[in-house]
Amino acid sequence: MRDAIAILASCSVTLPATHAPAPPSHHRRRRCRPSPRTNQSLNSTAPSLHSTVRWDYASTSRNRNRKRLEYYTDLTSNLARDGRFRDLFMIAESFVVSGGKPSQFVALLDVNIVSAGISRMIKDGRLGSLIEVLGGLRKLGFAVVELFDGLAVEALRQVCRRQLGKRDDVEEIVSLLETLQGLGFSTKEFVAPSEIIRLCVYRRTPSAAIRYAQIFPQVHTLLCTIMIEFGKKRDLVSALSVFEVSKQNQGCPNMYAYRTIIDVCGLCGDYLKSRSIYEELLDCKFIPNIYVFNSLMNVNASDFSYMLHIYKQMQKVGVTADLASYNILLKSCCLAARAHLALDIYRDVQHLESKGALKLDVFTYCTMIKVLADARMWRMALEIKEHMLLAGVIPNTVTWSSLISACANAGLAEQAIQLFEEMLQAGCEPNSQCCNALLHACVEAHQYDRAFRLFKSWKENEHPSFPIRFSFAPTTSTYNILMKACGTDYYHAKALMDEMKMEGLSPNNITWSILIDICGGSGNVHGALQILRSMHQAGTQPDVVTYTTAIKICVEHKNIKVAFSLLAEMKRYQIKPNLVTYNTLLRARSQYGSLQEVQQCLAIYQDMRKAGYKPNDFYLKLLIEEWCEGVIQQNKQNKGQIASDRASLGPQSLLLEKVAEHLQDSNAESLSIDIRGLTKIEARIMVLAVLRMIKEKYNPGDSVRDDLLIILEEEPSGCGSRHETGSTEAIASLLQYDLGLEVLSVGSVDGRNFNGGFDISFLYPNSKVLQRRDLPLKLESPSRRPVPLQRLKVTKGSLHHWLQKGGASTSRSDSSPSAEK
């Protein structure tokens, strides 16, 4: 550095011609090509301030000038050779400041020497300043890439790797790559793009990923790859910010980007977002292409009606469905368990194939096999296999697995094993999943020993079904299936779970659920509940199934209190009970339930309705039965019972509140039940509750003074506009058929007695009775349709009779419409 300053100092005053050593003789000199672009940039940076200090070529003699050039050539060459580029750049600067052209300076240098200097820097380990030096050389007009030999490129790669190894600042490594790319290097050779993208995704830095993508000419393809990678990490927010950059391309929506982000929504489980992105595209008045439509349908495949809606929109805008569209339709049918609809679509697609419009592929057949397997239609599943073979489509492992599953679901172990052998003969290599299906088949057929024998030969590779050439490890599912094969042998199941952990597999929700089931099934309710607790500690969150299993165990052991506390607990953890959970709890009542139990059931009905489940009529019927029978039991209890029960009701049970309200009015002279605004099921419960109350108040010998009035929805509208249709029908059916009461309509056209010449079965159009009598015609004909009723009247006579009978249900068993299904 001192040298350089000395040199600079001297050259800015007078040229040190006398000290100049003899110019070295250079052989095979490679002169650098200055690029015009950098000339400009250098000239522009040359400050006019220094214009007094000039390299005055014009005023010097030819000889002196030549000597000077030789001197500088030597000087710069020495600096370059030693890798002292900073000094070199300072000289260059002063050279330019003194009026020299950068191209002239560059011409002094031999490329080989500069190259050697770079190698020197690398050898000395001065990698840190390498990038800066390269920038300087570039600025001078060197074609930097040409200065690098194999070794130097390797060193540059090391610089990148080192920076990448730090992994702490993604932006920094991307800056480095940007620089290198700008210098003309192909950075792909230093670091694989996938590696950079992976790091950006891991660090959740979409900005760095976007910058990196912009290095390459195929930016948009790369941005989509990046979106998918974020999607795989379930980072929708980052993916969306990448999408914002790539959604517009040359002034129009980039369909590839749109379909990609829709796929990412699917990966992240946010299908609603995929819908809003689709809407956004529609707002631009652009017609989405088939890829966008297919992706959207695929992401929303689990919502059959929406999927169909999109399919229809696609047809409307004139986009022709392709095979993928049909396969997605089938997938959606599969998810919605619509096997027959799938069969219809399959026939349509086959027709299209016969016309040569498309060719069914392995996905089509496989999805069909799956939908049929799930629907327990194993014969048809096997038929599809035949179609497939006839069409020359080769079944793959997934196809065979689905076929084996079809048999497994039907409990056909023999058939499953036969298919497995067939698969091997066809030269298709099995995998873990298809062996799992095979084991499942044995378990479903209750051939537990066979399952364990198969598993043993799988592990030891000795059974003819598992030739040695196959090696694939058992999975968590394998162990789960085997645990199911333990029946009620808790210790065996526990041992399998331990073995599974030894194999490096982790138990999942299903594993724990099975263990709970087995433990409880062996009679150890306490143990089952403890497993539920230890599951939390093991870091697996119980899900609906786990809780439902535990609830089932409690219910089966008459531990109703704990069952309900588990329900409360799962709600606290924000785990939504599903239909199975509710139905399991509804089975919790004892046959002659206490009032409290009935109320719990009512609360569950409330809950179910709120959660959007249709309460099961079958259980409701059981509840009604219980209620009527339960009255006898309740008669012995003291009168304070109802009041205290009412006090214990939570504020959320509105129906119960209403019921209680009616019970309070029980001393009123004449009774009426207002069911306006209630749903069908609520209305039924309401009516039953009042009847129960009447029954409780009734003492043998009392007379019934008044009819019981039921106030119905006033609205005289036609079908469709009412909140819920069928309440009247349900109530009338309940009173008359379930309880054997006499029911009159009040305020109807003629007020005739239902039991008179008037056929009341029109009130419940869904019943079998109705179908037999061909009554739908009457309903559909407006002229013969009865005017909507405003009230129902239960005659005091029949009420009296019912009370005296002791409330036992009458001819309900086969005439009740609710008995169906």
Q: Using CB under 7 A as the criterion, which residues of the chain lie in contact with DNA when the complex forms?
A: 255-256, 259, 263, 291, 294-295, 298, 301, 322-324, 327-328, 331, 334, 361-363, 366-367, 370, 373-374, 396-399, 401-402, 405, 408-409, 431-434, 436-437, 440, 475-478, 480-481, 484, 508-511, 513-514, 517, 543-546, 548-549, 552, 578-581, 583-584, 587
> Measured from the CB atom, is 205 or 433 closer to DNA?
433
The one-letter amino acid at 76: T
Which position has the token pair 């020299």?
Answer: 100
Q: Which is nearer to DNA, 431 or 524 (CB)?
A: 431
Of 375 and 739, CB closest to DNA: 375
- Rounded CA-CA distance 255/259 in Å is 6
Residue 768 CB, shortest distance to DNA, in Å, is 22
What is the amino acid identity at position 294? N
What DSSP string runs through 72-127?
HHHHHHHHHHHT-HHHHHHHHHHHHHTT--HHHHHHTSBHHHHHHHHHHHHHTT--
* Type of residue found at 497: M
CB of 564 to DNA, least distance (A): 16
User: Cβ(553)–Cβ(587) under 8 Å?
Assistant: no
Provide, rounded to whole angstroms, the least separation between the CB of residue 206 and DNA. 20
Indicate the residue among 366 and 496 with the shorter CB distance to DNA.
Answer: 366
Q: Work out the angle between the directed axes of helices 362-374 and 339-354 (0-180°, nearest 10).
A: 160
Beta bridge partners of 709: 672, 793
Beta bridge pairs of residue 708 = 794
CB of 691 to DNA, least distance (A): 28
Q: Which is nearer to DNA, 57 or 618 (CB)?
A: 618
Q: Which amino acid is at 467?
A: P
Least Å from the CB of residue 378 to DNA: 13
The neighbour count for residue 198, using CB atoms within 10 Å, is 14
Residue 153 or 219 with smaller CB distance to DNA? 219
Q: Are 240 and 280 contacting, i.e. CB atoms less than 8 angstroms apart?
A: no
Taking the complex as a whole, how short is the minimal distance between the CB of residue 322 and DNA, in angstroms? 6
CA-CA-CA-CA torsion sign (307, 310, 316, 320): negative
**Which residue lies nearer to DNA by CB, 308 or 362?**
362
Least CB distance to DNA at residue 379 (A): 18
Spatial distance between the Cα atoms of 697 and 702, rounded to a whole number of angstroms: 10
Rounded Cα distance, 615 and 606, in Å:
9
Positive/negative CA dihedral, 335, 336, 337, 343: negative
Q: How far is the CB of 398 from DNA (least distance, A)?
A: 3
Are the beta carbons of 409 and 373 closer than 8 angstroms? Answer: yes
Between 465 and 578, CB nearer to DNA: 578
CB of 261 to DNA, least distance (A): 12
CB 618, min distance to DNA, A? 10
Complete DSSP assignment for 125-168: T--TTHHHHHHHHHHHT--GGGG--HHHHHHHHHHHHHHHHH-S
Output 34 or 615, the one with its CB closest to DNA.
Answer: 615
Find the DSSP H helices in 503-587.
Answer: 509-521, 525-537, 544-556, 560-572, 579-586
Integer angstrom CA distances of residue 441 from 204, 383, 481, 494: 44, 19, 10, 22
**3-state SS, residue 744:** strand
Query: Judged by CB, which is closer to DNA: 12, or 397?
Result: 397
* Residue placing its CB nearer to DNA in the complex, 77 or 478: 478
Shortest distance (Å) from residue 430 CB to DNA: 8
